[in-house]
């Protein structure tokens, strides 16, 4: 399937058939997500993968009781990671391991640190959440490319998710992506006309 | 090219060769962007397309003098549109035109309006900006799929862009996507290991 076909045929699946996706396919999906771009390549995200049915049942009431939670094969909880300085340090270690010249490495790391030094917690969260959506789009397109379906979801209680999943404060549940095999049918896509979007 | 090849070969191009992309290809790219998903399908974005070299020269100093601005074929300015209620009304009209049952249409529109009724301006902006990044990822992948290159950019002065482009207050420049033909080479991709991203 070419990219256009993927984009045009992907849709927010409201109900899955409960069948499990092969682990090998899931691994392929995770590689597509992991290689998403992000500003400065800081990758400010962590993704919790949930397959346990009991845990899904527990999360459903704090997800507006949406059927996708329990009928999906896998529930991916896309979290923003606001420990941006921590990620920069990890990148620094990777740069070093890759043999990058010390001067270049320091310049790159300092530029990144300068950009976030005085950033408020609100800004860091908002910025990290934006990046998460780049990875989320890879998940949505990736699912279709790999032969299954997906639903991006914002209708859930982020604080309850953090509590149930026992997440530290800097890992903020931001969007869900349920994946599985559709048990519904897509409706025709409705989008604003070109002349309304581009100017 | 399959999606994996697109994702793995796309990179943030630092310099383009200045050649123009065929208008037909650009039109195809815009269709991929326009069909991006967004929460509630509200599509809270507007995208300014810039090809005029003089305007690009004017924008370069407020874009950290990055070469991509002036060497690209097209500069796409991805703006968040915080007039969410306005977009909901436009969707309502589209639902009506599509023949959707009145009761269903009202329920759908009311659910959307309820979700944003008490939202602060800060939340609306942050939320809209997140959605923009779904469309941005389609642009980045779309460019590669269509045979050219791209660079996502956050290093620019949003307020100066709004001023120079004479944008109303609710249209907020959020990210740039320059597209063209690369005049540089990709470096190996560095990403955090799988066990660090997924849990």
Give the pLDDT score at B179.
Answer: 98
Take residue B66 and report the two structure tokens written for it. Answer: 């990055």
* CA B89, B32, B80, A136 torsion-angle sign: positive
Architecture of the structural domain at B3-184:
3-Layer(aba) Sandwich (3.40)
Task: Give chain B's mean pLDDT.
Answer: 98
Give the pLDDT score at B24.
Answer: 98
Give the pLDDT score at A33.
Answer: 99
Task: Flag if A4 and B194 touch (Cβ within 8 Å).
Answer: no
Q: Give long-range contacts, CB 8 A cutoff, 24+ apart: B66-69.
A: B66/B14, B66/B153, B66/B155, B67/B14, B67/B15, B67/B16, B68/B13, B68/B14, B68/B15, B68/B16, B68/B151, B68/B153, B68/B178, B69/B176, B69/B178
Give how far B84 is from chain A: nearest CA, Å.
Answer: 13
Q: What is the pLDDT of residues B107-143, one digit of tens each?
A: 999 999 999 999 999 999 999 999 999 999 999 999 9
pLDDT band at residue B99, thresholds of 50, 70 and 90?
Answer: very high
pLDDT band at residue B169, thresholds of 50, 70 and 90?
Answer: very high
Take residue A195 and report the two structure tokens written for it. Answer: 């002349």
First to last CA, chain B: 30
For chain B, the farthest-separated pair of C-alpha atoms sits apart, in whole angstroms, at: 55
**Best mutation site among B192, B194, B196 for testing chain A: the one with the most A CBs within 10 Å?**
B192
Task: Flag if A152 and B39 touch (Cβ within 8 Å).
Answer: yes
Q: Which residues of chain A have pLDDT under 50?
A: none
Take residue B43 and report the two structure tokens written for it. Answer: 């599509």
Residues of A within 8 A of B37 (CB-CB) are 10, 12, 137, 140, 152
Q: Tell me the ipTM for this assembly.
A: 0.98
What percent of chain A stands above pLDDT 70? Answer: 100
What percent of chain B stands above pLDDT 70? Answer: 100
Task: Give chain A's mean pLDDT.
Answer: 98
CATH number of A3-83+122-197: 3.40.109.10
Give the pLDDT score at A85.
Answer: 98
Integer Cα distance of B84 and B81 in angstroms? 7
Which residue, among A137, A1, A37, A105, has the nearest Cα to B149 in the 3D structure?
Answer: A37
């Amino acid at each position: 399937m070419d990219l256009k076909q993927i984009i045009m045929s992907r849709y927010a699946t409201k109900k899955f058939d409960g069948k499990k996706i092969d682990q090998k396919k899931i691994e392929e999906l995770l590689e597509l997500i992991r290689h998403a771009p992000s500003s400065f390549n800081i990758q400010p995200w962590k993704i919790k993968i949930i397959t346990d049915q009991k845990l899904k049942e527990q999360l459903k009431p704090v997800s507006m009781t949406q059927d996708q939670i329990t009928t999906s094969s896998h529930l991916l909880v896309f979290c923003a990671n606001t420990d941006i300085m921590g990620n920069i340090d990890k990148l620094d270690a990777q740069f070093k391991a890759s043999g990058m010249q010390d001067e270049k490495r320091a310049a790159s790391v300092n530029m990144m640190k300068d950009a976030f030094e005085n950033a408020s917690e609100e800004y860091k969260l908002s910025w990290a959440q934006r990046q998460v959506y780049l990875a989320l789009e890879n998940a949505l397109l990736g699912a279709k490319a790999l032969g299954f379906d997906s639903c991006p979801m914002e209708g859930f209680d982020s604080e309850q998710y953090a509590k149930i999943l026992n997440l530290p404060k800097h890992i903020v549940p931001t969007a869900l992506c349920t994946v599985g095999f559709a048990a519904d049918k897509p409706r025709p896509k409705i989008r604003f006309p070109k002349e309304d979007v581009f100017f």
